[in-house]
A and B are shown apart, each in its own frame.
Chain A
Amino acid sequence: MYESNFIPYINRWGRATSLLAVALSFGPALALLTVFEIVPPTGAVVGGFLSVAVTFGLIWFIEPISYYPVLGIPGTYMAFLSGNISNLRLPCAAAAQESADVEAGTPRGSIISTIAIAGSIFVNITILTVGVFALVPVFEAMPEFGRNALESYLVPAIFGAIFAQFGRDYPKVAAVGLCIALSMTLLMEFGFLAFLPGLPLYAVILVSVFGTIYVAKLMWQNGMIETDS
C-alpha cells in the first residue's frame, strides 16, 4: 500500500507542485520588472546569484540528503517547499511521531510526519499572514529613528546569533572561520584585493566558505573535533 500506492502519488504531485512553485516564486521579481519597470543591472543579478551559489550551493544538496532519513519522501517535498526546516518542520514531525506512537523511518512514521508537517504549514502560513498585516503598518508608523535602528541593527544581531548557534557544536572551527573571514574582509576593505576583476566580494566569500570547510575537514581527520551522530 505504502510503496505501491501512496509514494507514487506523492512523487507525482510533489514534483508537479514543487516545479509550479519554482515558477510562481518569480512573481515579485517579475512584478518589479513588468509593473514597475525596474530593471536591475544583469551584472548585479548574476553577481548576487553567484555569491549565493558559492555561499549556499553545497547546502542545496547536503540539506535534503541529510534530512531525508528523518523527513521521508513526502516530508522532503513539503519541508523544502515550505522552508523553516530545522526550526519548525523537523521538531513538529518528531513530536507528532512521538505522541502518535509510531517509529521514525517506517511507513507509518512517514504517514504521521506527513500529517504533522501539513498541520504545521497551515499554522505557519496563518500566523505569518496575520502577523505581517499587523507588523507592516506598525513599522511604517514608527519614527525615523526607530525605523533606522531596525533596518541597521536587527540584522547584525541575527547574523551573530546564527553564527553562535552553529558555532556551539564546533567552537574551534568557528574561531578559525571567523579569523579567515575577518582577514579577508579587512583585505578587501583596505583595497588589497583590488587586483581581482569586479567587486571582489566573491573572493572573500569563496575563501571564507571553502577555507572553513577545509579546516573543519582537517580538524576532523586529526581528531580535533568530534561528531556525535
Chain B
Amino acid sequence: MDVANSTWLWISAAPVVFVVLLQAGLFLRRAWKNGKEMGLSDEQLETGLRTGIISAIGPAIAVLAAMLALIATIGGPVAWMRLTVIGSVAFELPAAELGISQLGYGFGDDGITETAFATAVWTMTLGGIGWLLVAALGTPHMEKARKRIVGGRNKLLPVVTSGAMLGAFAYFVSGEFTSGAPEMGSAAVGGLVMLSLLKVADEKEIQWIREWALGTAMAVGLVVGMALHTVAGGGW
C-alpha cells in the first residue's frame, strides 16, 4: 500500500504539528514573562524548562519504539501525526484496529485494502477529537464541572476510569486470543513482561525501567509471536 507512505500524506499531516508547536511557543513565552512578574527567578524558570526537556527524552524514545507498531500498520505519516501530537499508543492502535475491523480485516491480514486503511484514518481522526473538543471548550469550566460531577464521590472516579480502560483492553486482548496461537502468545507474554518489569521498577524505584517497560514487552511479545508462528503455525 504505497498511499500510506506517500508524499501527499506527509504534507497533509504537517500543519497540525505546526499548530501544536505554535501553541507551545505562545504559552512558553507568556508563562516566562508572567512568571517573572509573579516573582519567579530566572533560575527557577530555566530549571523548569531544562527539567521538562530532560525528562521528556526517555519517554519520547520509548514512544518512538511503540510508533514502529503504528508505522507497520498504518504507515509513517499518520503514525507520526497521531503520536507527535494528539494521541498516545493506547488510543491510536485500538482506534486503527476498530477502523479496519469494520471491513472485516485484522492487523497483519494479507491484502488490507486502501478503503480499510482510509476507514482506519477516519476512525482515528473522528475518535481523537473527543478529547480535543472537551479540552478546547471545557477547560475554563473544569473546576465547576469537577465539583458537580465528582461531588463527594472523589474515589469513584479512578474506579470508573480503570473499569472502562480494563473493559476496553480486555476486549482487544480477547480479539488477539481468539485470532491464533502466535497472537495469543504475544499478548500473554507482553502482559507478563509488563507486570514483572513494573514490579521491579516499583520495588527498586528505578524510573527508566518504567519508561522502557512497554518497549521491552513489545519486543519480547514479538519474538514469542514469531517463534510460535514458526513452530506451530497459525494455531486456530
- A and B bind: yes
By size class, the interface of chain A is 35 or more
Q: Please give me the residue from chain A that is nearest to B65 by CB atom.
A: A131
- Which residues on A sit within 8 Å (CB–CB) of B198? 164-165, 168
Name the interface residues of A164-217: CB closer than 8 Å to any CB of B: 164-170, 173-174, 177-178, 180-182, 184-186, 189, 199, 201, 204-205, 208-217
- Which residues on B sit within 8 Å (CB–CB) of A125? 17, 20-21, 84-85
- Which residues on B sit within 8 Å (CB–CB) of A78? 23-24, 27
Name the interface residues of B32-52: CB closer than 8 Å to any CB of A: 32, 34-35, 37-40, 44-45, 47-52
Indicate if the CB atoms of A95 and B51 lie closer than 8 Å: yes
Indicate if the CB atoms of B31 and A123 lie closer than 8 Å: no
When the two chains form the complex, which single residue of A114, A157, A165 contacts B189, counting CB atoms closer than 8 Å?
Answer: A157
Indicate if the CB atoms of B114 and A77 lie closer than 8 Å: no
Known contacts: A156-B190, A178-B170, A181-B174. The answer to whether A124 contacts B121 by CB under 8 A is no
- Which residues on A sit within 8 Å (CB–CB) of B235? none
Q: Please give me the residue from chain A that is nearest to B183 by CB atom.
A: A156
Indicate if the CB atoms of B187 and A156 lie closer than 8 Å: yes
Interchain Cβ contacts under 8 Å between A and B, 8 examples: A10-B30, A36-B6, A48-B98, A76-B135, A95-B52, A159-B169, A174-B170, A213-B163
- Which residues on A sit within 8 Å (CB–CB) of B174? 178, 181-182, 184-185, 208
Indicate if the CB atoms of B53 and A123 lie closer than 8 Å: yes
Indicate if the CB atoms of B60 and A88 lie closer than 8 Å: yes
Name the interface residues of B7-36: CB closer than 8 Å to any CB of A: 8-9, 11-17, 19-28, 30-32, 34-35
- Kindly state whether residue B71 has any CB partner on chain A within 8 Å: yes
Proximity bits, B194-236, A CB within 8 Å = 1, else 0? 1100100000000000010110011111101110010000000
Indicate if the CB atoms of A204 and B171 lie closer than 8 Å: yes
Q: Which of B48, B102, B122 gathers the greatest number of chain A CB atoms within 10 Å? A: B48
9 A-B pairs besides A48-B98, A164-B191 with CB distance below 8 A are A10-B30, A18-B132, A28-B78, A64-B134, A78-B27, A118-B25, A129-B80, A158-B69, A160-B191
Indicate if the CB atoms of B102 and A47 lie closer than 8 Å: yes
When the two chains form the complex, which single residue of A1, A15, A29, A95 contacts B122, counting CB atoms closer than 8 Å?
Answer: A29
When the two chains form the complex, which single residue of B50, B97, B166, B211 contacts A177, counting CB atoms closer than 8 Å?
Answer: B166
